[in-house]
Amino acid sequence: MNPIADSHHEDADVAAERVRIFDTTLRDGEQAPGFSMDRKAKLRMAQALEALGVDVLEAGFPQASPDDFAAVAEIARTLESTTVCGLARCQSVDIDAAGKALEAAQRSRIHVFLSTSPLHREHKLGMSKAQVLDTAVAGVERARGLCHEVEFSAEDALRTEPDFLVEVFSAAVAAGATTLNAPDTVGYTTPAEIIELFEYLRRHVAGADKVIFSSHCHDDLGMAVANSLAAISAGARQVECTINGIGERAGNAALEEIVMALKVRAPHFGVDTRIDTRKLYPTSRLLTQLTGQAVPRNKAIVGDNAFAHEAGIHQHGMLKHRGTYEIMHAQDVGIAETRLVLGKHSGRAALRQRLQALGHRPVDAEMDGIFARFKTLADKKREIHDEDLEAIALGQDPDATGPWRIVQLTSATHLGGSASASVQLAHEDGREASEAAIGDGPVDAVLRAIERATGNELQLTDFNVRAVSEGGDAQGQAQLTARHGKRDWNGHGVSTDIVEATALAALAIVNRIERQAPVRPPVAVAHL
């Protein structure tokens, strides 16, 4: 079989009406500071994205690290219908790694990229136009033999001479690329400009009628979604985007915004996607839970206020006719009309049903643990909200357990600012460690005590505590990022007590570190 010819055929049939959604949440999104996910979280997100209906899922950059490679390979093995894509520079080592990571995919795509703009050619690559052309062709040719379909991206395309871009793209098509991506790498373009470029490309690229043109927009000037929609109106039939618009710097174009714009304004755009829009909100929520990064209340489509019509004059109009102020329904994006509250008398079936509505698909083995934690929490709290359930579901992550666990924790805050904490920890090898420390506040104190007890130095780079449900007995979620060795580690913890949540988050980090590195004996520390 010739996979390339095959995909030409498939693409040509539907090119007129369908826009392909290329999700890069797990690559461009995940590589941004604050959004890193471990392998387990990535797999979970990938499964949610497949259920959402994305056409192509960029799972990572296999050559970047062994972790990235393993995550891409695992996603490639697991997904059933979504095309799984791996990123690669136009270098043999990258392309071969991507091909290997994607081996098990039902449908695989290697996404090769190379800078084409004069600025990047001169200062980043040190290559002439001819060298760029040769390198691009060699990259596409190599990738072609290793996967079902090849996408070629001209990095910084929007600042590339249009005639040179046509030359590179034409050569990439001749070499076997079936998707041509023109990224606005630096978030610099405008809707009018991107329309002009895509129309020009479709007129001049040799073989343009046989390939899919793609946009990849960044939000540095707040125009990523507008620019993506403009590219679609000029013939782009793939858009690269991320859930919640996460991504490098100001982020990528937000998937949920593009999809709902195409749906709500269907007659205007005249194109469709395969996204099940009722899964947009649950998928967005899952991402915020996995990364610990919430979206702003006023975020389009998925923010808490997006469907709240609170102002009195609006409510008056809404009561007479919903259409007066409402252009879409909350249910269309998967926000339940009534927020069901569960309690201590709720059964396993109700819990499972609610978790599924929230985008979680626990297997039976996981369900036992989740149900047990649910009952424990229900004894402490009268009402269990969706946020509580999500926190419980994520607490089941086996990656977040052992070898250390907390036996005892006490903390005290002293008037005037300082605080103290003491922890008693147990290691699965039988060791016990007790340490006390003082700090600028209870969080600082508990971190220092855990550092001492486990012998792992943690340099805190990001710390975030927020309530994950409503009311005075709300659960708090602590999200920590700490530098250890040469990399950043994330951990989160959930508890009705925020100091305990912080301790759990810190311990999750220590546990991740210790499972990957040999255990060092605790360092000797001069005590108070």
Residues in the site for Mn ion, rule: CB under 5 A?
28
Residue 414 Cβ vs Mn ion, minimum distance, rounded to whole Å = 48
Closer to Mn ion at the Cβ: 32 or 205? 32
Residue 193 Cβ vs Mn ion, minimum distance, rounded to whole Å = 18
Residue 233 Cβ vs Mn ion, minimum distance, rounded to whole Å = 21
Residue 113 Cβ vs Mn ion, minimum distance, rounded to whole Å = 9
Residue 31 Cβ vs Mn ion, minimum distance, rounded to whole Å = 9
499 vs 412: CA distance, rounded Å: 10
Residue 175 Cβ vs Mn ion, minimum distance, rounded to whole Å = 23
Residue 63 Cβ vs Mn ion, minimum distance, rounded to whole Å = 17
Closer to Mn ion at the Cβ: 29 or 442? 29
Closer to Mn ion at the Cβ: 251 or 395? 251
Longest alpha-carbon distance in the chain: 75
Closer to Mn ion at the Cβ: 139 or 183? 183
CA atoms within 13 A on the CB side of 309: 18
The pairing of strands 108-115 and 83-89 is parallel
Residue 248 Cβ vs Mn ion, minimum distance, rounded to whole Å = 5
Is the C-alpha dihedral spanning 262, 267, 273, 276 positive or negative?
Answer: positive
Give the pair of three-digit tokens for residue 210.
């046989």
Residue 232 Cβ vs Mn ion, minimum distance, rounded to whole Å = 18
Tokens 């991506």 belong to which residue? 181
407 vs 442: CA distance, rounded Å: 18
* DSSP state, residue 336: -
Q: How far is CA 238 from the centre of its chain?
A: 19
**In a 10 Å sphere around its CB, with 0-12 CB exposed, 13-18 middle and 19+ buried, how is residue 524 labelled?**
exposed
Give the pair of three-digit tokens for residue 121.
């050619």
Give the pair of three-digit tokens for residue 158.
């929007």
Q: How far is CA 179 from the centre of its chain?
A: 23
Closer to Mn ion at the Cβ: 224 or 480? 224
493 vs 129: CA distance, rounded Å: 51
Closer to Mn ion at the Cβ: 186 or 503? 186
* DSSP state, residue 208: G
Give me the phi and psi of 405, to 5 degrees please: -140, 160
Closer to Mn ion at the Cβ: 115 or 477? 115
Closer to Mn ion at the Cβ: 216 or 373? 216
95 vs 496: CA distance, rounded Å: 47
Non-local (6+) Cβ contacts of 102 within 8 A are 62, 72, 73, 76, 84, 85, 86, 108, 109, 110, 146, 147
Residue 472 Cβ vs Mn ion, minimum distance, rounded to whole Å = 43
Closer to Mn ion at the Cβ: 28 or 156? 28
Non-local (6+) Cβ contacts of 500 within 8 A are 406, 409, 493
Give the pair of three-digit tokens for residue 514.
């210790």
Give the pair of three-digit tokens for residue 290.
């996995």
Which residue of this chain has its Cβ atom nearest to Mn ion in the complex?
A: 28
Closer to Mn ion at the Cβ: 28 or 435? 28
Is the C-alpha dihedral spanning 65, 71, 75, 76 positive or negative?
Answer: positive
Closer to Mn ion at the Cβ: 97 or 241? 241
Closer to Mn ion at the Cβ: 33 or 145? 33
Residue 296 Cβ vs Mn ion, minimum distance, rounded to whole Å = 21
Closest CA to 143 of 187, 110, 107: 110
Residue 157 Cβ vs Mn ion, minimum distance, rounded to whole Å = 11
The dihedral formed by the CA atoms of 95, 101, 104 and 110, expressed in degrees to the nearest 10: -30
Q: Are 419 and 412 in contact (CB under 8 A)?
A: yes
Closest CA to 499 of 434, 376, 412, 393: 412
3-state helix, strand and coil shares in percent for the chain, rounded to the nearest 5:
45, 20, 35
